[in-house]
Structure formats: C-alpha cells, structure tokens
Structure 1
Amino acid sequence: MTTRILFVCLGNICRSPTAEGVFRTLAPDTETDSCGTSDWHVGEPPYAEMQRAALARGYDLSDLRARQFTPHDFTRFDLIVAMDASNLDAIEARRPTGNATPVRLFTDYAPEAGMDHVPDPYYTRDFDGTLDLIEKAARGLKSSL
C-alpha cells in the first residue's frame, strides 16, 4: 500500500512545494502533494527563486501548482506535515470530527537541526538554508516510514 503524504505551508509557493519535490525524489513510490492554508496563490507555480534554488540541487518543481488545504485532505492522506506551528494550528482547526489522521511538524523529522519550524524563504530570502533543512527533514521522514 502506498503511503500518501501532504506537505502544508502558508501560501504553497515556497516551503511545501519544495518539501514535496524533495520527498518525491527521495521516495518516488510515495504519493505526495502540497498545499497552503491560505488561498493567496491558488493556481500559481512555486516562487521563481525557490524553483531556481531547488533546480540547482536537482529538484524540479515546475509542474506544481498552489492549492488551498481543505478538510477533505484529512481523508485523502495518511500523514499531513506542517511547516510551522501556525500552519499546524490552521490545519487542526479544519479537522473533521472523529478524524484521526496524524498531523506533524516537518522539523520533528530533523531533531538534529534544532529548529521548531521551517523558515519561510519568501521572507528570509535564505532559499539554500530552507533547502538544507527540508532535505534533512525529508530524509528523516523517509526513514520513519
């Protein structure tokens, strides 16, 4: 049975599509998707600078398009992974009554990084630093499956 994992950030143009792109490269037999808790960028591709940084490491994000998280995602996925506590709270606020799909912080899979969230490079401009952390967390997540 294929594991289905959803990566979630705020706008779905930097962190979550990058996490999806990295993870689908590491674990191609896993079904992945990404989305945002906001609807600000629905239908848009990942942020150009994030795409460039990812492509420089061999991750092609060009086929991804932003979408908004919905309560239906709780039934479509086996695991929902949030990029920060604010995203996690927004996801939990949409949880259907009785649903038990696990929701975890992505950084839980990279405790050695000493971070409690994946910083948003849209604001920090540190695309490579974000990629470093996403790669660590993706390797940790893969080893946990």
Structure 2
Amino acid sequence: MTYRVCFVCSGNICRSPMAEAVFRARVADAGLDGLVEADSAGTGGWHEGEGADPRAVSVLTAHGYAVDHTARQFHASWFSRLDLVVALDSGHLRELHRLAPTERDAAKVRLLRSYDPAGHDGGLDVPDPYYGGRDGFEECLEMVEAASDGLLAAVREQVEGRAA
C-alpha cells in the first residue's frame, strides 16, 4: 500500500513544490519509490495550472533537484487518500485543520519544520520567499532540506509498520 504525502503552501509555486522535489529525491535515494508518493498543492487557487516560480526552479536545479510541476489547489476531499499533509507555515496549518472533514483527517496535518532535528530558533514556519530575491529561495531550500531527513525517517517508520 502506497504512503501518500502532500506538501501545502499558499499558491503552490514556491515552498510546496520545493518541498515536494526535495522529498521525492530523498524517497528515491532511500529506495522507497513505489512505496511513498509525494505531491503538493496550495491553500489558494491563484496560480492553478502554472509552473513553479522560476526562482524556485532555478534554485532547485542548481542544487540537483528535478522539477516538473503544475500548481493546483488543495481540496478537503483529498484527505481521504492522503496519509500525511505537510504544511509549510502555521497559517497553512490552521487552514488545513479548518478544511479537515474529521478529527482523524486533522491529525494528518503537520508542519514541515517540526521534522527538523536541529531546532527551530526562528519558529516552525518556512518563510514565503515570493516577494524577495533568490536569497529567500536559497533559505527556503535550506529549511526544507534540514527537515526532509527527519520527515523521511518518520515516513519510513510508517511504511515499515504497514509492512509488518
């Protein structure tokens, strides 16, 4: 049975596509292809059908990540097919909890940086880089990468628990 993860930010063109690309790479490196699927969406539909922000694509590509992305909006009906919904900031977390049809669905929502074992001196939010320059996208990628190993470990534990 496939374990499904969806990363969620505001418009699904910056943070969540970056998290999706990094996590997919981690999943592939761990040999979990076919067992774990990752995708992403936004809380709003402003950019539906668009590709990822060119600055996000540039930063991801420069760091060796593959990007093939089309923005879409998250829908409450998706909770039934997802195992984990990963919010990029506390605003997304609140919105996803509001959208969750049941308490069980709400329990599937976590903040990405809660998986970062190094701590959170600046809080658990991944700041939105959209209104800034390339440095903000580099910082976003660093935060996503720092949390992705912990996220992968948690997902691997769930996948192995299902197989047992």
TM, length-normalised to structure 1: 0.93
**Cα-Cα RMSD:** 1.3
How do 1:1-145 and structure 2 match up within 5 A? 1-28=1-28, 29=33, 30-61=36-67, 63-97=68-102, 99-100=104-105, 101-114=107-120, 115-125=123-133, 126-145=136-155
Q: Contact between 1:108 and 1:137, CA under 8 Å: does it hold in 2?
A: yes
Please state how far the C-alpha of 1:111 moved relative to its aligned partner.
Answer: 4.1
Cα distance between partner residues in 2 of 1:113 and 1:124: 25
Compute the displacement of 1:97 (Å).
3.3
> Which protein shows a greater Rg?
2
1:134, distance to aligned residue in structure 2 (A): 0.4
Judged with a 3 Å threshold, the aligned counterparts in structure 2 of structure 1 residues 123 and 39 are, in CA distance, closer, same or farther, namely same
Structure 1 ranges of 4+ moved more than 3 A: 97-101
Larger helix proportion of the pair: 2
TM-score if structure 2 supplies the norm length?
Answer: 0.83
Unaligned runs of 5+ in 2: 156-164
1:113-138 per-position Cα deviation (integer Å, ceiling 9, x unaligned): 41311111112431111101101111
CA distance in 1, matches of 2:97, 2:132: 26
Structure 1 Cα separation of the partners of residues 150 and 104 of structure 2: 25
Q: Which runs of 5+ in 1 are unaligned?
A: none
CA contact (8 A) 1:26 1:142 kept: yes
Q: Give a deviation string over 1:56-100, Cα, whole Å, max 9, x none.
A: 001121x21100010111112100000001001111111113543
Aligned residues: 144
What is the identity percentage for the equivalent residue pairs of Structure 1 and Structure 2?
A: 44
What is the letter of the counterpart of residue 82 of structure 2?
F
